[in-house]
Amino acid sequence: MGLLQKLLCLVFLVLFIVVLFSSPDTASASVEEANAFLKWKEPLANSSMLTTWILDPKKGSSSSASSPCNWFGVSCNVEGSVTRLNLTDSSISGTLETFPFLSFPNLAYVDLSMNQLYGPIPPEISSLPLVYLDLSSNEISGNIPPEIGLLTNLETLHLEENQLNGSIPREIGKLKSLSRLALYINSLSGPIPASLGNLSKLVYLYLFFNQLFGSIPEEIGKLNRLTELDLSYNQLSGSIPNEIGKLKGLERLNFETNNLSGSIPPSLGDLTNLTLLSLYKNQLSGFIPSELGNLKSLVNSDLDNNQLSGSIPAYFGNLLELENLDLSINRLSGPIAAGNLRELHQIETLELEQQHF
């Protein structure tokens, strides 16, 4: 027998041994995961999208008949273990309290958004090796469990548009891999935890339309990869921290409709990538800092409904990308630098009413 034939025989022998000793475990894992899904499915209402979630009685207990890998919304790895569950907008009505989290050791991607899921987020969710979790646009209620901080591989967390209440757990600050955090349109209250400053990879932070109060933590200034920061429509108070000016990559900054006071920090002029700056409907006072003239990429600036004083800075005429500028309902006075404003060829909306010119 030649060397090549011996090598081929050896390869086939190794493959046979692998199949012989691995198949029962793989089949067993597939059966367990399939049955776990079916147990969760049973009480769900309006689960017509899950008609493929059945075991084939004609094939008995074979691994192919018991595998969920071909079911709607389910993906598996080469060993036949579930890695992804995507049931977005599938008309599912039910609770996560009966979801068998402990049965899926490889489930890293979960998207159950745009359904009618209700009830709390079970702390057992922390047992999953999650990278992506989207439970948005449901009717989920209760607190965000502090165990969420155990999902240390998580890169994306979407819990927006639910009925969550209580405070944002400081344990979220342990999610060092997180790049997207969306908790908007809930009933969350309490302060923004300073631990969010530990999320050094965060790109998007959306906390708007909640009932958050207290000051904006200066630790947010550590999020140097942040491009979008939206804390609008809350009850935040105190001053805008100077540290916000360290977010050099920030493109959208929205603090509108809060109770922020004090002056606009000149450090905002360091955010040269800003296209949106909205501080509408706060209690900000003092002059509009000249440093905002550095925001050459600014498209929308909304500073109305505050207590700003002094004159309209001439630098607004240098912001050639500006399309919408609203300075109305303030205490501005003095002459309008009309000559400068004529340079704003892109301007579509300019609001200056109720001033003291």
pLDDT digits (tens, 9 = 90+) for 287-328: 999 999 999 999 999 999 999 999 888 888 788 899 999 999
46 within a domain of the structure (yes/no): no
pLDDT at 296: 94
Tokens representing 253 are 């900054």
245 within a domain of the structure (yes/no): yes
354 within a domain of the structure (yes/no): yes
304 within a domain of the structure (yes/no): yes
221 within a domain of the structure (yes/no): no
153 within a domain of the structure (yes/no): no
Sign of CA dihedral 58, 64, 70, 74: positive
Count: domains in the chain: 1
pLDDT at 313: 82
pLDDT at 28: 54
Residue type, 275: T
259 within a domain of the structure (yes/no): yes
CATH of the domain at 346: 3.80.10.10
pLDDT at 11: 46
pLDDT at 110: 98
CB 234 within 8 A of CB 256: no
Report the length, in residues, of the chain: 357
132 within a domain of the structure (yes/no): no
Please provide residue 276's backbone torsions phi and psi, each rounded to the nearest 5 degrees. Answer: -130, 130
Listed as ranges, residues in the chain with pLDDT below 70 are 1-29, 46, 56-66, 335-346, 348, 354-357
Provide the residue range defining the domain that includes 330. 239-357
